[in-house]
Amino acid sequence: MAVLDQLFDAMLSSGASDLHLAQGQPPKLRLHGEVSPIAGWGVLDGETLGSMLSEICIPKRWERFVETGDLDFAYAYEKKARFRANYNKQYAGYGAVFRTIPSKILTLEDLGAPPVLKTFGGFNAGLCLVTGPTGSGKSTTLAGVIDFINTTTARHIMTVEEPIEFVHPNKKSTIVQREVGIDVPSFAAALKATSRQDIDVLLVGEMRDLETIGLAVSGAETGTLVFGTLHTNSAVKTVDRIIDVFPADQQNAIRQSLAVTLRAICAQLLLKKTGGKGRIAAHEILIQNLAVSNTIREGKNAMLTQIIMSNRALGMQLMDDCIDGYLQKGLVDGTEAYMKSLDKERFKQFAPVKE
């Protein structure tokens, strides 16, 4: 048994979401959003941590990490669990973060996701985005959407990820999963090849640069249903982010393309439940309609907030309305609502009192 497996057992027995390792620190777990040391473990020195990390990493990957200072991969711990691993070099030495990947792909119903997310899988083509900060559950939500498509329709689905997190079995659909750095050199290279692979549905694990975003939009324009993620916390900021990635002389063209191809955005945040036991996802939902398309085309993105407010009957909702709903039901407390809200003024009565 690898030394790290003992820490993975501690993760699994406690229900922690993440394991944090850093040279000069004891191992720590994130449970219900809080990070705390694991009892019985001392400070990790460089030799010990380097040995632990290299033990579960194939030599080629370890060499890449030593050379570049950063590495992402998935690790399967026997048949107990899978973990998304990030190795990094930092000022103090080695560091690593492991996130638990649920062994069972949770359905949208399991996740308590808004029912409108099922419509994301019903589009024939276009661009659907799930956004939010790191650790907000974007990958889990997208896995639920892909599973819904896989369960209900016969389509050719490809996922491009770094690393592959959820392993999808073939159900009604045929699924191909490619890992960046192993099966394909980059997200962009994978996207360029899809035009020759008769793909109906494409999941891009992370739209992190201009080339990948441009290719994703192009794929959506040419008849593929493309899913992707961005690190934005609202629909308006998501549209702004995509357009701002492009040089000024290309921004009008991408605005016109988005007006046609964008089908939906789900922005997602995780909030601590009242009492600190568990977390709950809050969502902002934007669905394309004529008003959305015209607003994006005309560059009046700030008006998208008003469009969402006016189209609740279509399943659209603002993040702060969702948070306020949880607050009214007692699912989250006022402080958490204030801290995670986008409009602080709306929740100012719950702002922490300054000493």
Q: What single letter denotes the amino acid at residue 215?
A: L
- Per-residue confidence (pLDDT) for residue 163, from 0 to 100: 85
Structure tokens at 150: 């896989």
Among 2-6, 164-168, 256-260, 318-322, the least confident range: 2-6
Kindly report the pTM of this predicted structure: 0.85
pLDDT above 90 for 328: yes
Among 30-39, 136-145, 302-311, the least confident range: 30-39
Cα dist from 16 to 28, 86, 105, whole Å: 10, 17, 18
The rounded mean pLDDT for the chain is 92
Structure tokens at 64: 């890449």
The correct CATH number of 108-350 out of 3.30.930.10, 3.40.50.300, 3.30.70.1230, 3.40.50.150 is 3.40.50.300
What is the spatial distance between Cα 113 and Cα 266, in angstroms, rounded to a whole number?
10
Q: Which CATH architecture has domain 3-101?
A: 2-Layer Sandwich (3.30)
Dump strand ranges (E) for the chain.
Answer: 18-22, 28-31, 34-37, 70-77, 81-90, 93-101, 126-131, 156-161, 174-179, 201-204, 225-230, 262-272, 279-287
How many residues can be counted in the chain?
355
Q: Work out the average pLDDT over 8-25.
A: 92
Tell me the backbone φ, ψ of residue 330, rounded to 5 degrees.
80, 15
350: DSSP letter: G
pLDDT above 70 for 354: no
**Domains of the chain by residue range:** 3-101, 108-350
- Per-residue confidence (pLDDT) for residue 58, from 0 to 100: 86
Strand-pair partners of 262: 127
Residue 1 pLDDT level (bands cut at 50, 70, 90)? low
pLDDT above 80 for 257: yes
- Per-residue confidence (pLDDT) for residue 115, from 0 to 100: 93
Tell me the backbone φ, ψ of residue 141, rounded to 5 degrees.
-65, -45
- Per-residue confidence (pLDDT) for residue 165, from 0 to 100: 85
Three-class secondary structure of residue 324 per DSSP: helix
Q: At what angle do helices 235-245 and 210-221 cross, to 10 degrees?
A: 110
| Pick from 327, 328, 284, 324: nearest CA to 307 | 284
Q: What percent of the chain has pLDDT over 70?
A: 99
Structure tokens at 317: 């909702």
